[in-house]
Every structure is written in structure tokens, then in C-alpha cells.
């Protein structure tokens, strides 16, 4: 029988997308849904092949793709528009800030914007023509960041190393030269809340502004509730407010029929991605209200809950997700604390076991 999986050598250690190699792997990564075999088909497989298929299915469910949420769609639409409008602009380019509570899918949406744009660039510049293009840079702001640390994060993405005596102008000029040579178009800055209120926050903010002036790219930031933390306060804040579009990433609501339909559509998309032998389609949609109660409408918590249940269903050989199984999956404290306060109205979509 032909092998369902490649005979693999040692898997390389995955690099974070904050390096160009890690980012390229992230952009290229497209999880392939494993085959769902009958009991007879599974029985025919050699033990080693069956074990590898089992692990492949667990890996797939651990990495289930998230559906495009309204926030993600808004970010993608706004991002594409601003990238186009900013082309040819010498200064005063417009940017985006994605702000919201933890667990509402900000990083997922931000990186999806970068992935979508880079794939579009690769389609326009295939093969050798695109080899030297690095159209997207993804950087996270460390806690207690200084302007120099931030500049080094940009350099680290490109794989540029500097000695201890390197000055800020050395680092910044090198980064800007490499960015121009590799046709940078989009800069993604995650964890932007780490600069607010910090000792060097104002200087780091100025450094980001300087990069935005020097780099011919659209800047997209993501952070936790940045407007409430004072990002738009004072002269610097007013300047940011005048140049950036704010998109709010919030938990799903469940009060109106339209909101409940949107939540059920999200659950249905996740369910359609499952590859479990005994799972009955529609089970999770029937549990939409229960899932909302467990997660408080937080998309990160919903993803963790469904992915965790699918992996356990494979491990325990039940091959289906039920409410009893979902009850066993632990969630983050934020979802556990928030969910009761966001409990939907009674009488809508009762959960079934």
C-alpha cells in the first residue's frame, strides 16, 4: 500500500516569525487535512504507518485554521487599501492600529494580513524575480524596550548582527538600506502596548515614527487596549491619532439574532475543518450557546477549546467531540472569569449532550 505520509527525517526546530526565515515558513505553511479512513482502511495499515497517521491527525487538529472573523476581514480590507494608497508617498503615510483585549485574535489577524500580502507579492513576482524580496517585516516589542533594542529587533528579523560597539545610527541606517533593497511594503509591530507607560516609551515611540518616515512601507500595530492605556494622549498621541486608523478587536456578542448567527457561522467553520472518524456534522453548531458560555465569545478561547477536544478525541479513540468531552478541556483564566458575565440570554440554542 502506498504510504499516506512521507517518510520523514528529523523535523527542523520551528523558528519564530520574527526572523525572515521563520516568517517565510509561516507564510508558506498550509496545513493539509489528513485522510479520514474507514475502520477497515485503518486496519489494513501497518502499525508504523497507522501511528504516523495518528500523529499527523493530532498535529493537524492542534493547528486548525481559524475562520476569517469580522475584525480580520476589516483589517485585511483596510490594510490592502492603505498599502495601495501609501505607494509613492514620500511621508505622512497612513497606518493601522489593531486594539483589543487579550484573546480576541489580534496577533492572528495581524499575521494573516502579512501572510495575505506576502503571498500576493509572491504571485506577482514568482520564481527568481521574487527571491530577493522581503515585502513584510514582523516585529514584537519586548517589555522594557529601548529605542536601540527596537532597532536591533528589526535587524534580527533580517539576520543582521552587530557588535557591542554598534551605534543607533549604524543599526538604523543598515536596516533601512536592507529594507529598501528588498522592497519592503508592510511592517507589522505586535505587542505595541509594551511601549505605553514604560520609562523609555516616548523615545521608543519616536523611534517607530522615525522608522515610519525612513521606510517606504505601511505600518500596522497591534496591542492590548492601547487607546485606554493612553497611546493617543499628548502631542505624540494626537499625531498618531491623525495618521492611524483604529480597528477594535472585541469578543463576539450573542444578544441579537444577527450576533448569534455570526457566532454559529464561526463555530460551523471550525467544525467543518475537523477530521474525526465518528464526529456527527452539526454537533458543535448545536452547542453554539454552550461554547459561547464557556468562552465568553473570545475567539482564542474557542479555538483552544475545539482544538483541545479534537486532540483528546483522537487520543481516547472516541473520534467525536461532545459536550461531555468539551467539559474536560481546561481554558485560560480570562475566559473562565469573563464567560459568566457575558452569559447569553436564555432560550436560544440550548446546548445538547
Of the listed ranges 36-40, 160-164, 191-195, 348-352, the one predicted with least confidence:
348-352
Tell whether 55 is covered by a domain.
no
**Burial annotation 81-117 (CB, 10 A radius, 16+ → b, else e):** ebbeebeeeeeebbbbbbbbbebbbbbbbbbbbbbbb
Of the listed ranges 126-130, 239-243, 284-288, 319-323, the one predicted with least confidence:
126-130
Whether 266 and 241 map to the same domain: the answer is no
Per-residue pLDDT, 287: 97
Tell whether 30 is covered by a domain.
no
Whether 281 and 154 map to the same domain: the answer is no
Per-residue pLDDT, 64: 86
Per-residue pLDDT, 129: 56
Per-residue pLDDT, 292: 97
Higher pLDDT, 153 or 34: 153
E strands, 22-147, are 95-100, 136-140
Task: Say whether pLDDT at 167 is over 60.
Answer: yes
Round the CA-based radius of gyration of the chain to a whole number and report it: 23
Per-residue pLDDT, 336: 65
Q: Smallest Cα–Cα separation from 18: which of 90, 80, 110, 97?
A: 110
Whether 224 and 262 map to the same domain: the answer is no
Instruction: Give the C-alpha distances (Å, rounded to integers) separating 108 from 46, 179, 281.
Output: 38, 24, 26
Whether 93 and 75 map to the same domain: the answer is yes
Per-residue pLDDT, 265: 95
Higher pLDDT, 73 or 7: 73
Q: What is the mean pLDDT of residues 165-178?
A: 94
Per-residue pLDDT, 35: 81
Q: pLDDT tens digit string along 86-124?
A: 998 877 799 999 999 998 999 999 999 999 999 999 999
Whether 117 and 261 map to the same domain: the answer is no
Task: Report the distance separating Cα 134 and Cα 17, nearest Å.
Answer: 13
Task: Say whether pLDDT at 348 is over 50.
Answer: no
Q: Of 201, 234, 249, which residue is a domain's last?
A: 249
Cell digits for 179? 529594507
What number of CA atoms fall less than 13 Å from residue 270's CA on the CB side? Answer: 31
Cell digits for 274? 475537523
Q: What is the mean pLDDT of residues 184-210?
A: 89
Q: pLDDT tens digit string along 286-308?
A: 999 999 999 999 999 999 999 99
Per-residue pLDDT, 283: 96
Per-residue pLDDT, 353: 42
| DSSP calls for 241-277 | HHHEEEEEE-PPP-SSHHHHHHHHHHHHHHHHT---T
Q: pLDDT tens digit string along 235-245?
A: 878 888 889 99
Task: Give the single-character DSSP code of 215.
Answer: S
Per-residue pLDDT, 10: 45
Q: What's the whole-model pTM score?
A: 0.86
CA 133 to chain centre: 22
Higher pLDDT, 54 or 186: 186
For 12, counting Cβ atoms within 10 Å of its Cβ (0-12 exposed, 13-18 middle, 19+ buried), the class is exposed
Whether 197 and 92 map to the same domain: the answer is yes
Task: Say whether pLDDT at 7 is over 90.
Answer: no
Whether 152 and 264 map to the same domain: the answer is no
Task: Report the distance separating Cα 137 and Cα 189, nearest Å.
Answer: 8
Per-residue pLDDT, 334: 64
Per-residue pLDDT, 44: 87
On whether the CB atoms of residues 15 and 66 are closer than 8 A, the answer is no
CATH number, position 211: 3.40.50.300
Q: Of 187, 220, 249, which residue is a domain's last?
A: 249
For 318, counting Cβ atoms within 10 Å of its Cβ (0-12 exposed, 13-18 middle, 19+ buried), the class is middle
Confidence of residue 130 (pLDDT cuts 50, 70, 90): low
Question: Domain range spanning residue 234?
Answer: 70-249
Q: Of 215, 249, 283, which residue is a domain's last?
A: 249
Whether 318 and 238 map to the same domain: the answer is no
Tell whether 59 is covered by a domain.
no
Tell whether 157 is covered by a domain.
yes
If you average pLDDT over every residue of the chain, what do you get? 87
Whether 244 and 259 map to the same domain: the answer is no
Confidence of residue 349 (pLDDT cuts 50, 70, 90): very low
Per-residue pLDDT, 32: 82
Cell digits for 130? 521574487
Per-residue pLDDT, 39: 74
Q: pLDDT tens digit string along 275-287?
A: 998 999 999 999 9
Confidence of residue 350 (pLDDT cuts 50, 70, 90): very low
Tell whether 62 is covered by a domain.
no
Counting the structural domains of the chain, the total is 2
Task: Say whether pLDDT at 3 is over 60.
Answer: no
Amino acid at each position: 500500500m502506498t504510504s499516506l505520509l512521507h517518510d520523514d527525517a528529523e523535523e527542523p526546530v520551528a523558528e519564530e516569525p520574527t526572523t525572515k526565515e521563520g516568517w517565510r515558513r509561516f507564510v508558506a505553511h498550509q496545513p493539509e487535512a489528513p485522510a479520514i479512513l474507514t475502520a477497515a482502511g485503518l486496519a489494513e495499515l501497518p502499525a508504523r504507518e497507522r501511528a504516523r497517521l495518528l500523529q499527523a491527525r493530532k498535529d493537524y487538529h492542534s493547528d486548525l485554521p481559524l475562520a476569517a472573523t469580522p475584525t480580520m476581514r476589516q483589517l485585511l480590507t483596510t490594510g490592502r487599501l492603505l498599502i495601495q494608497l501609501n505607494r509613492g508617498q514620500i511621508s505622512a503615510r497612513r497606518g493601522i492600529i489593531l486594539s483589543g483585549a487579550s484573546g480576541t485574535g489580534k496577533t492572528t489577524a495581524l499575521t494573516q494580513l502579512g501572510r495575505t500580502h506576502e503571498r500576493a507579492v509572491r504571485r506577482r513576482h514568482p520564481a527568481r524575480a521574487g527571491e530577493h524580496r522581503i515585502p513584510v517585516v514582523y516585529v514584537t516589542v519586548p517589555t522594557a524596550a529601548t529605542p536601540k533594542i527596537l532597532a536591533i529587533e528589526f535587524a534580527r528579523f533580517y539576520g543582521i548582527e552587530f557588535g557591542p560597539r554598534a551605534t543607533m545610527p549604524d543599526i538604523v541606517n543598515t536596516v533601512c538600506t536592507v529594507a529598501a533593497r528588498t522592497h519592503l511594503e508592510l511592517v507589522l509591530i505586535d505587542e505595541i502596548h509594551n511601549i505605553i507607560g514604560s520609562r523609555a516609551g516616548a523615545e521608543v515611540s519616536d523611534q517607530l515614527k522615525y522608522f515610519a518616515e525612513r521606510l517606504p512601507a505601511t505600518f500596522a500595530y497591534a496591542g492590548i487596549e492601547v487607546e485606554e492605556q493612553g497611546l493617543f494622549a499628548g502631542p505624540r498621541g494626537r499625531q498618531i491619532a491623525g495618521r492611524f486608523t483604529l480597528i477594535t478587536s472585541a469578543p463576539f456578542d450573542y444578544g441579537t439574532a444577527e450576533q448569534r448567527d455570526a457566532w454559529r457561522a464561526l463555530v460551523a467553520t471550525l467544525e467543518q475543518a475537523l477530521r474525526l472518524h465518528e464526529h456527527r456534522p452539526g454537533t458543535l453548531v448545536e452547542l453554539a450557546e454552550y461554547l459561547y458560555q464557556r468562552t465568553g465569545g473570545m475567539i482564542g478561547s474557542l479555538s483552544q477549546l475545539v482544538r483541545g477536544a479534537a486532540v483528546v478525541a483522537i487520543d481516547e479513540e472516541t473520534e467525536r467531540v461532545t459536550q461531555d468531552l468539551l467539559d474536560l478541556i481546561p481554558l485560560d483564566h480570562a475566559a473562565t472569569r469573563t464567560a459568566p458575565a457575558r452569559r447569553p440570554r436564555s432560550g436560544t440554542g440550548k446546548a445538547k449532550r
